[in-house]
């Protein structure tokens, strides 16, 4: 039976890396953040560059032309050797909608949710000058938990510290065969769309010199493995945070509830305290559609400039 694995997670949570690690198998395929191909909302979404680095690659043109409803089917037809697709679009509304379509088509769906601890996430955001980290973290995961019933939690910390073990356990849960070195995602040429540039930098190799992101932002290490090792996990991040950020984390009861829910420490009744009520959910749906519409309009405008 064909399968689609959906990866959820806030921004900077390692979803692109997880996507390519799982798809690093002859029977796997990474589509990256494919939602943006059909629902572009940023200027670069309007001229998609394929992750394989080949400027002649017309895969996404074909996929776009055959339409959103047949999206995964088109890829399965195009690559008969694959049995599963990994989609790291992350948007819970997209995952929710695609899941119902796939279930009607008899394709099996799995949901994975990658997350950073609030302290780690705050660190990633604050260093990029984004102060609204807490709202971003809570809003994303509350929406995800409101829309997606069953999922496999994937702590970013585990993926960074023990990638092989983490990937092997996900494979087991999703009925995929695990093979050695699967976490070395740069060993395969992926067609991954959009997603995180620093994860995709690792796709750069002697064979794939044209890779557009890597060519301008290549780190200085000598080997591909050396570059990969720059994705590390710092156990002492929390202690390094500014005091007001630490305070914000420890004082927020809902944030703590959500953390313990992910780590499985609390029973599922806790979920009710986290999820949106129907009014909040409808409001969120409206905001999400408006943002997509505004993004599409602005994106077209910027493209014309
Ligand atoms: Zn390609």
Q: Which domain holds residue 118?
A: 3-304
What is the Å distance from ligand 1's center to 268 Cα? 42
What is the Å distance from ligand 1's center to 114 Cα? 26
Q: List, in sequence order, the alpha helices (H) in the chain.
A: 15-23, 35-38, 59-66, 71-78, 92-104, 118-126, 133-147, 156-161, 163-173, 197-200, 212-217, 224-228, 237-240, 243-251, 253-262, 271-274, 278-304
What is the Å distance from ligand 1's center to 179 Cα? 24
Statement: residue 166 has pLDDT above 90:
yes
Residues, the chain, total?
305
Q: What is the pTM of this model?
A: 0.85
φ and ψ at residue 112, rounded to 5 degrees: -120, 140
Residues lining ligand 1 (ion), CB within 5 A? 50, 52, 57, 59, 191
Provide the pLDDT for residue 203.
59
**Per the structure, how many domains does the chain have?**
1
**DSSP 8-state code for residue 277:** P
Residue 20, both tokens: 């390519």
What is the Å distance from ligand 1's center to 50 Cα? 5
Question: With contact defined as beta carbons under 8 Å apart, do 98 and 6 qualify?
Answer: yes
Provide the pLDDT for residue 14.
87
What is the Å distance from ligand 1's center to 192 Cα? 8
What is the Å distance from ligand 1's center to 85 Cα? 15
Percent of the chain scoring above 90 in pLDDT: 36
Provide the pLDDT for residue 171.
94
Could you tell me the CATH number of the domain that includes residue 26? 3.40.50.300
Residue 131, both tokens: 């102060």
Tens digits of per-residue pLDDT, 15-69?
A: 988 998 999 888 999 998 999 888 887 777 777 778 777 778 888 888 989 989 8
What is the Å distance from ligand 1's center to 56 Cα? 8
What is the Å distance from ligand 1's center to 60 Cα? 8
Statement: residue 270 has pLDDT above 80:
no
Better-scored residue on pLDDT, 237 or 154? 154
Statement: residue 225 has pLDDT above 70:
no
């Amino acid at each position: 039976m064909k399968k689609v694995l959906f990866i959820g997670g806030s921004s900077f949570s390692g979803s692109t890396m997880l996507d390519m690690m799982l798809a690093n198998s002859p029977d796997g395929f990474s589509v990256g953040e494919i939602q943006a191909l059909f629902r572009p909302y940023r200027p670069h979404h309007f001229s998609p560059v394929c992750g394989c680095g080949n400027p002649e690659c017309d895969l996404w043109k074909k996929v776009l032309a055959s339409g959103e409803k047949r999206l995964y089917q088109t890829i399965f037809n195009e690559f008969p050797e694959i049995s599963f697709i990994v989609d790291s679009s992350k948007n819970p509304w997209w995952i929710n909608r695609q899941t119902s379509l796939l279930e009607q088509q008899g394709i099996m769906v799995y949901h994975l949710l990658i997350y950073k601890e609030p302290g780690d996430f705050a660190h990633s955001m604050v260093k990029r000058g984004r102060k609204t980290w807490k709202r971003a973290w809570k809003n994303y995961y509350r929406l995800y938990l409101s829309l997606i019933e069953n999922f496999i939690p994937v702590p970013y910390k585990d993926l960074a510290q023990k990638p092989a073990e983490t990937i092997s356990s996900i494979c087991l849960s999703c009925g995929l065969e695990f093979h050695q070195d699967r976490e070395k995602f740069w060993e395969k040429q992926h067609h991954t769309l959009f997603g995180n540039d620093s994860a995709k930098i690792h796709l750069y190799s002697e064979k794939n010199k044209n890779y557009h992101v890597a060519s301008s932002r290549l780190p200085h290490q000598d080997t591909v493995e050396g570059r990969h090792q720059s994705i590390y996990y710092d156990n002492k991040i929390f202690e390094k945070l500014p005091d007001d950020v630490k305070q914000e984390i420890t004082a927020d009861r809902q944030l703590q509830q959500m953390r313990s829910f992910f780590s499985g420490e609390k029973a599922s009744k806790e979920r009710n305290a986290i999820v949106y009520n129907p009014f909040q959910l409808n409001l969120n749906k409206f905001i999400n559609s408006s943002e997509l519409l505004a993004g599409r309009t602005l994106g077209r405008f910027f493209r014309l400039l």
